[in-house]
Structure 1
Amino acid sequence: MPSPLFADHPADRPPERDTVEALITQARRLRGDLDAVRRESSVDTGLATDPQLRWQRALCDLAVHHLDDLGGHLDQLREGLPTESDDIAVADEPPAAPPSPVPHERGALLRRVGSAEWNLLTDEVSWSDELFAIFGRAPSEGPLTLDELPSLVYAEDQEKLTTMVTDCLVDGRPLDGEFRIVRPDATLRTVHMVGEPVLDTDGSTACMWAVLRDVSELRRSQQAVRESRDSLHRERQIAQTEHRLAVELQETVLPPWRGSLRFSQSGPVTLDLAGHYLPSGSSALIGGDWYDALHLPDGTTLLSVGDLTGHGVTATSGMAMLLGALRGMAVAGHRPGPLMGLLNQLLDAAAQPALGSAVCGRFDPASRTLEWAQAGHPAPLLFRGGTGRALDPPEGVLLGATSGATYTQHTEQLEPGDMLVLHTDGLVPRRTHGAETAHEGAERLLALAPRFGAARSAQDSVRIVVEEFGSTEREDDACVLIARVGD
Structure 2
Amino acid sequence: MPSPLFADRPAARPSERNAVDAMIDRARRLRGDLDSVCRTAVAIDEDDPQQRWQRALCELAAHHLDDLGARLGQLREGPPPPVPDTAPADEEQGPLSGRAGSAEWNLLDDGVEWSVELYEIFGRDAAAGPLSLDELPTMLVPEDQPLLTSMVTSCLIDGKPMDGEFRIRRPDGRMRTLHAMGEPVLDSEGRTVSLWAVLRDVSALDDSRKREVRTRDSLHRQDDIARAEHRIATELHQAVLPAPHDSPAPACGGSGAMDVAARLLPSRSCGPSGGDWYDAMTLPDGRTLLTVGSLTGHGIPAASTVAMVLGALRGMAVAGIEPRALLTHLNQLVQTSAQPALGSALCGFFDPSAGLLTWAQAGHPAPLLFRDGTGAPLVPPEGVLLGAAPGVTYGQETARLLPGDVLLLRADGLAPATGLGAAPDELLGLAARLSGSRTAAECVRTVAEELGGAERPAGGCVLVARVTG
TM-score tier after normalising by the smaller chain length: 0.7 to 0.9
Listed one character per residue, the Cα deviations across residues 296-326 of structure 1 (whole Å, up to 9, x for unaligned) are: 0011110000111111222222212211221
Equivalence for 2:102: 115
- Shift of the 135–39 alpha-carbon distance from structure 1 to 2, 3 Å rule, reads same
Measured in 2, the distance between the counterparts of 1:260 and 1:177 equals: 67
Residue 28 of structure 2 corresponds to 28
The CA deviation at 1:337 is 1.0
Identify the residue that residue 468 of structure 1 maps to in structure 2. 450
Look up the SS of the partner of 2:413 in the other structure.
coil
Say if 1:119 and 1:393 are closer, same or farther in 2 by CA, change over 3 A: same
Contact 2:252 2:282 in 1 (8 A): no
The residue number in structure 1 matching 2:459 is 477
Within 5 Å, give how 1:327-342 maps onto structure 2.
327-342=314-329
The residue number in structure 1 matching 2:205 is 218
Per-residue deviation, 1:413: 2.6
- The corresponding residue for 2:16 is 16
Task: Say whether the 8 Å CA contact 1:263–1:272 is kept in structure 2.
Answer: yes
Q: Determine the C-alpha separation between the residues in 2 that align with 1:6 and 1:384.
A: 94
CA deviations 1:209-252 (Å, max 9, x no partner) are: 22111111222222222222222222222222222222322332
The letter for the 1-side match of 2:461 is C
Cα distance, 1:473 vs structure 2: 1.9
- Other-structure match for 1:459: 441
Q: Distance in 2 between matches of 1:25 and 1:34?
A: 14
CA contact (8 A) 1:192 1:212 kept: yes
**Displacement of 1:109:** 8.8
The alpha-carbon distance between structure 1 residues 468 and 28, as it changes in their structure 2 partners (threshold 3 A), is same
* Cα distance between partner residues in 2 of 1:438 and 1:57: 46
Counterpart secondary structure, 1:389: strand
Report if aligned partners of 2:377, 2:423 keep a CA contact under 8 Å in 1.
Answer: no
Q: Is the 8 A contact 1:382 1:391 kept in 2?
A: yes
2:247 is matched by which residue type in structure 1?
G
Which of 237, 260, 271 is the matching residue for 1:250? 237
Which one of 113, 137, 141 corresponds to residue 154 of structure 1?
Answer: 141
Could you tell me which residue of structure 1 aligns to residue 89 of structure 2? none
Give the superposition deviation at 1:466. Answer: 2.0
Q: CA separation in 2, counterparts of 1:441 and 1:231?
A: 45
Alpha-carbon distance in 1 for matches of 2:119, 2:419: 70
CA shift for structure 1 position 141: 4.1
Distance across 2 between alignment mates of 1:167 and 1:259: 71
Matched letter for residue 55 of structure 2? R
Aligned partner of residue 275 in structure 2, secondary structure: strand
1:303 aligns with 2:290: yes
Q: Decide whether aligned partners of structure 1 residues 260 and 122 sit closer, same or farther in structure 2, where only a CA change above 3 A counts.
A: closer
Listed one character per residue, the Cα deviations across residues 165-207 of structure 1 (whole Å, up to 9, x for unaligned) are: 4554556554333221111221111112222333456765544
Residue 65 of structure 1 aligns to which amino acid in structure 2? H
Whole-angstrom CA distance in 1 between matches of 2:329 and 2:64? 63
SS in 2 for 1:287: coil
Gaps of 5+ in 2: 80-93
Q: Residues 438 and 425 from structure 1, CA distance in 2 versus in 1: closer, same or farther, beyond 3 angstroms?
A: farther
Q: Which residue does the alignment assign to 1:42? A: 42
Structure 1 residue ranges without an equivalent (≥5)? 82-106, 429-433
Residue identity opposite 2:47 in structure 1: T
Equivalent position amino acid for 2:2 in 1 = P
SS at structure 2 position matched to 1:415: coil
Residues 3-49 of structure 1 deviation map (CA, whole Å, 9 limit, x = unaligned): 4575346899897345444433443343233223322343253xx32
Query: Is residue 2:325 matched to residue 1:345?
Result: no
**1:425-444 paired onto structure 2 within 5 Å:** 425-427=412-414, 435-436=417-418, 442-444=424-426
Residue among 120, 123, 143 paired with 2:130: 143
Partner of 2:7: 7
Q: What amino acid does structure 2 have at the position aligned with 1:43? A: A
Distance between the aligned counterparts of 2:169 and 2:278, measured in 1?
Answer: 66
Quote the residue 2:278 is aligned against.
Answer: 291
Give the residue type in structure 2 aligned to 1:419.
V
SS in 2 for 1:290: strand
Partner of 1:263: 251
Counterpart of 1:369?
Answer: 356
Distance 1:384 1:120, change over 3 A: closer
Computed over aligned residues only, the root mean square deviation of the Cα atoms, in angstroms, reads: 3.0
User: Is the partner of 1:310 in helix, strand or coil?
Assistant: coil
CA distance in 2, matches of 1:166, 1:456: 83
The 3-state SS of whatever aligns with 1:451 is helix
Instruction: Give the TM-score taking structure 2 as reference length.
Output: 0.86
Partner Cα separation in structure 1 for residue 344 and residue 101 of structure 2: 70
Q: How many residues align?
A: 454
Q: Deviations over 1:227-282 (max 9, x none)?
A: 222222222222222222223223322222433457233x4222122222211012
Distance 1:470 1:333 in 2: 34
Equivalent residue number for residue 232 of structure 1:
219
Task: Say yes or no: does 1:394 pair with 2:381.
Answer: yes
- What is the TM-score with the length of structure 1 in the denominator? 0.83
